[in-house]
């Protein structure tokens, strides 16, 4: 067992970053990216503005960290594809169970990340750095969906003549934060209703009956 002591300064720095990130997420989702300043983030987090600059450098970096933590649900440095819910879904032998677990896990992520993703999407056209971050976000989501699409292909479960790449594009659209926000925030659907609909939609679009 690794019994190395945790450095006190590192622990304090990590706690400060987490506090700043949570404060920023609250302000970004309430006031938007442009109206939220480093100074207001620092005030919300109870730290000096210079502390935020020292920890992150830019407001874009703060938003990126907030998005990363929202996707993960914690501050652990574990990639999405190594998360327990993803591993459980990919281990399912039955394709319909794989889809069900994928959509259920995605729904839990969307509950946390969709508001921040909307902040980024809305602000990206006016800021090249945010535009690049939004493109990266899309690419990362497609990478994850490609793994799921190939898992379905490996099981012989995809519709005839549907290549895994097209299946991944379909997943990217159906399980996107944009569509989740449309149905839940704009149309008033509950997260459970969206999850049920999304699982059925993915099943109909991808799986061989």
Q: Kindly list the averaged pLDDT for each block of 10 residues, start to end, along the chain of length 209.
A: 57 87 97 97 97 96 96 90 97 98 98 97 97 97 98 97 98 98 98 98 94
- Say if residues 122 and 166 touch (Cβ distance below 8 Å): no
What pLDDT score does 5 carry? 47
* C-alpha span between 179 and 118 (Å, rounded): 10
Q: How many C-alpha atoms does 158 have within 13 Å on its Cβ side? A: 19
Per-residue b or e along 139-167, where b marks 16 or more CB atoms closer than 10 Å to that residue's CB: eebbebbbbbbbbbbeeebbeeebebeeb
Per-residue b or e along 55-85, where b marks 16 or more CB atoms closer than 10 Å to that residue's CB: bbeebbebbbbbbbbbbbeeeeeeebeebeb
* C-alpha span between 88 and 70 (Å, rounded): 20
Q: Which fold, 78-209?
A: Tetracycline Repressor; domain 2 (1.10.357)
What pLDDT score does 10 carry? 72
Report helix angle 8-31 to 95-123, nearest 10: 80
What pLDDT score does 7 carry? 65
* C-alpha span between 179 and 191 (Å, rounded): 12
Contact partners, residue 158, CB within 8 Å, separation at least 6: 149, 152, 164, 167, 206, 207, 208
CATH 3.40.50.300 matches 1-77: no
Q: Which sequence spans correspond to the domains of the chain? A: 1-77, 78-209
* C-alpha span between 199 and 8 (Å, rounded): 45
Gap between the terminal Cα atoms of the chain: 49
What pLDDT score does 6 carry? 52
What pLDDT score does 1 carry? 43
What pLDDT score does 209 carry? 74
């Amino acid at each position: 067992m690794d019994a190395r002591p945790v450095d006190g300064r590192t622990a304090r720095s990590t706690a400060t970053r987490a506090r700043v990130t949570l404060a920023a997420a609250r302000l970004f989702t309430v006031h938007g990216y442009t109206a939220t300043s480093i100074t207001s983030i620092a005030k919300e987090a109870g730290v000096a503005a210079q502390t935020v600059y020292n920890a992150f450098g830019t407001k874009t970096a703060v938003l990126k960290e907030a998005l990363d933590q929202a996707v993960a649900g914690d501050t652990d440095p574990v990639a999405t594809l190594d998360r327990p819910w993803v591993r459980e879904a990919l281990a399912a032998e039955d394709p319909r169970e794989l889809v069900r677990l994928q959509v259920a896990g995605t729904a839990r992520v969307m509950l946390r990340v969709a508001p921040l993703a909307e902040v980024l999407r809305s602000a990206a056209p006016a800021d090249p750095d945010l535009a690049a971050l939004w493109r990266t976000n899309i690419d990362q989501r497609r990478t994850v969906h490609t793994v799921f699409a190939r898992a379905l292909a490996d099981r012989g479960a995809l519709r005839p003549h549907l290549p895994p790449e097209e299946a991944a594009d379909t997943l990217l659209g159906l399980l996107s934060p944009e569509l989740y926000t449309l149905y839940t925030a704009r149309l008033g659907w509950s997260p459970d209703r969206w999850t049920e609909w999304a699982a059925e939609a993915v099943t109909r679009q991808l799986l061989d009956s």
